[in-house]
């Protein structure tokens, strides 16, 4: 099974390139400090649409940037406040979000969180590699016994919908999810829970679990039990 060394190095190199290219661009974005000057949709269109979807639809075209449509509002709000105070230092945060988030008020952040969370969700798609997705399903639902990798469903739910400050994963770009898992594994993105949960994950396991997550709908089936494993 491959280790993460080579892949993580290449991912970090790509991210560093975006950091250099993007930091100047991000610094040029000026968000009006008075929340009364723009509606949440106008603020999203002005400050967010270049990366997170044309016409402020929350569906990013590039897999390097997350889809925000239907994302949990508390998660969006928490992350924007963290970015505003430079509490996230992963390469993409530094390159693209520090400059944008620094001018946002609490009211604007709350408005953006509510706006993006209200947009139609993107659903998962059937995998073109069912065998790989099946391996990912096992990791997502049960984790790995040795070396220990915590099951994703414990926090993100069986259908990838997340809750409160736990992000929705269903419908997210595979490229973005893969990059973030590498960031967490290498601690380029610091989060005590995630850093610990994926400390032992391998490159192959990341590829598999991301393949499975890309199939999730984010919608609970009517007959699903409220007592989901690890929920």
DSSP string for 116-155: HHTSPPPPP---S-HHHHHHHHHHHHH-BTTTTB--THHH
Would you say 149 and 198 are in contact if contact means Cβ atoms under 8 Å apart?
Answer: yes
Q: For domain 19-117, give the CATH number.
A: 1.10.760.10
From 158, 151, 155, 168, select the one nearest 117 (Cα to Cα): 168
Q: Does this model's pTM top 0.85?
A: no
Place of tokens 């999730």: 216
Give me the pLDDT at residue 38, please.
72
Closest C-alpha to 95, from 24, 46, 186:
24
Residue ranges covered by each domain of the chain: 19-117, 130-213
What secondary structure letter does DSSP report for 36? G
Closest CA to 170 of 132, 124, 206: 124
Q: How far is CA 66 from the centre of its chain?
A: 5
Burial per residue of 105-121, b for 16 or more beta-carbon CB atoms within 10 angstroms, e otherwise: eeebbbbbbebbbebeb
Minimal CA–CA distance to 113: which of 148, 63, 165, 159? 165
Architecture of domain 130-213: Orthogonal Bundle (1.10)
Question: How far apart, in whole angstroms, are the C-alpha atoms of residue 80 and residue 151?
Answer: 26
Over its length of 231 residues, how does the chain's per-residue pLDDT go in tens digits? 444 544 544 454 444 444 444 444 444 455 555 555 579 999 999 999 999 999 999 999 999 999 999 999 999 999 999 999 999 999 999 999 999 999 999 999 999 999 999 999 998 999 999 999 999 999 999 999 999 999 999 999 999 999 999 999 999 999 999 999 999 999 999 999 999 999 999 999 999 999 999 999 999 876 654 443 332
| Core vs surface per residue 29-54: b (16+ CB within 10 A) or e | bebbeebeebebbebbbebbebbbbe
Question: Residue 220 has what pLDDT?
Answer: 80
Q: Which residues pair with 163 in a beta bridge?
A: 166
The answer to whether the 19-117 and 130-213 domains have the same CATH topology is: yes
* 8 A C-beta contact, residue 71 and residue 167: yes
């Amino acid at each position: 099974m491959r280790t993460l060394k080579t892949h993580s190095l290449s991912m970090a190199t790509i991210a560093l390139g975006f950091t250099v290219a993007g930091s100047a661009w991000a610094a040029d974005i000026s968000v009006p400090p008075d929340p009364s000057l723009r509606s949440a949709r106008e603020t999203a269109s002005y400050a967010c649409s270049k990366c997170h979807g044309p016409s402020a639809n929350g569906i990013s075209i590039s897999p390097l940037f997350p889809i925000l449509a239907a994302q949990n509002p508390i998660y969006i709000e928490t992350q924007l406040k963290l970015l505003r105070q430079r509490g996230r230092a992963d390469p993409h945060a530094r390159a693209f979000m520090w400059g944008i988030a620094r001018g946002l008020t609490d009211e604007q952040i709350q408005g953006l969180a509510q706006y993006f969370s209200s947009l139609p969700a993107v659903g998962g798609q059937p995998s073109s590699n069912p065998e790989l997705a099946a391996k990912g399903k096992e990791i997502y639902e049960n984790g790995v016994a040795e070396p220990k990798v915590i099951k994703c469903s414990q926090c993100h739910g069986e259908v990838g919908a997340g809750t409160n400050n736990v992000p929705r994963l269903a419908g997210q770009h595979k490229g973005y999810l893969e990059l973030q898992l590498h960031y967490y594994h290498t601690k380029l993105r610091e989060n005590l829970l995630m850093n610990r949960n994926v400390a032992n994950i391998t490159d192959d396991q990341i590829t598999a679990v991301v393949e499975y997550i890309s199939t999730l709908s984010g919608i609970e089936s009517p007959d699903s039990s409220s007592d989901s494993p690890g929920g």
